[in-house]
């Protein structure tokens, strides 16, 4: 006789943001399975294209996507990290298809780098939260100044995270799920697209 198994609702979440903001680090910190990463070494071909001045220790970059999974209560969250450079933006449509929402990671030292991601999700009416990664100096700017600088809607959540900490990053995922539920009227399946079938 088959034992009862818990039923999970799968949700797809996109982790987006500019180059070197911590997307791969966040997926790695959160994933309960060995994450799939598609990092390649930075070479001289990227000189003049990829600004590493704010992250001088960075030697690799995502060229396709990162993938991880995390279980929370009755949810299974599938995490898809996007590449940050504009030459890889053609992949974003595929990564975002069927997503319940997105986390936009922000480095306040390089705020201009996050605008493409914010514009992308706003133009597609996809719920997102802004996660300010705790790079040096990030805490000097309160949330209201961040909201004004990024021209965010009043209902867009802002959270503070350390992309290296699973506990910290989990707060961003919880904020996103709550925000997406509020946008959909409380139905956890209303905005999940192809990820609406429960897993058992």
* φ/ψ bin of 72: left (φ > 0), alpha (ψ from -120 to 50), beta (otherwise): beta
Distance from C-alpha of 108 to C-alpha of 138, rounded to nearest angstrom: 6
User: Has this prediction a pTM greater than 0.85?
Assistant: no
Distance from C-alpha of 87 to C-alpha of 131, rounded to nearest angstrom: 23
Please state the φ and ψ torsions of residue 83, each to the nearest 5 degrees.
-70, 150
Q: Which of 47-61, 73-87, 115-129, 182-196 has the lowest mean pLDDT?
A: 47-61
Residues 142-164: b if buried by 16+ CB within 10 A, e if exposed: eeeebeeebebeeebbbbbbbbe
Beta bridge partners of 131: 105, 159
The tens digit of pLDDT for each residue in 145-187 reads: 999 999 999 999 999 999 999 999 999 999 999 999 998 876 5
Q: What angle do CA 38, 29, 65 make, to 5 degrees?
A: 20
The tens digit of pLDDT for each residue in 88-112 reads: 566 788 889 999 999 999 999 989 9
Q: How confident is the model at residue 138 (pLDDT cuts 50, 70, 90)?
A: confident
């Amino acid at each position: 006789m088959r034992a009862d198994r818990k039923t999970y609702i799968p949700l797809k979440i996109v982790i987006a943001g500019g180059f070197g903001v911590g997307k791969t680090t966040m997926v790695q910190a959160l994933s309960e399975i060995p994450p799939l990463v598609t990092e390649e070494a930075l070479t001289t071909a990227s000189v003049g294209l990829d600004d590493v001045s704010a992250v001088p220790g960075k030697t690799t970059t995502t060229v396709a996507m990162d993938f991880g999974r995390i279980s929370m209560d009755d949810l299974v969250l599938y995490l898809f990290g996007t590449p940050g450079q504009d030459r890889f933006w053609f992949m974003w449509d595929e990564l975002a298809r069927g997503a319940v929402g997105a986390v936009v990671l922000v480095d306040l030292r390089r705020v201009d780098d996050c605008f493409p991601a914010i514009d992308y999700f706003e133009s597609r009416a996809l719920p997102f939260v802004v996660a300010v990664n705790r790079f040096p100096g990030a805490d000097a700017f309160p949330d209201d100044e961040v909201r004004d600088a990024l021209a965010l809607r009043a209902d867009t959540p802002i959270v503070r995270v350390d992309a290296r900490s699973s506990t910290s990053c989990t707060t961003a995922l919880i904020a996103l799920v709550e925000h997406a539920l509020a946008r959909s009227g409380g139905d956890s399946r209303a905005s999940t697209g192809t990820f609406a079938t429960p897993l058992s």
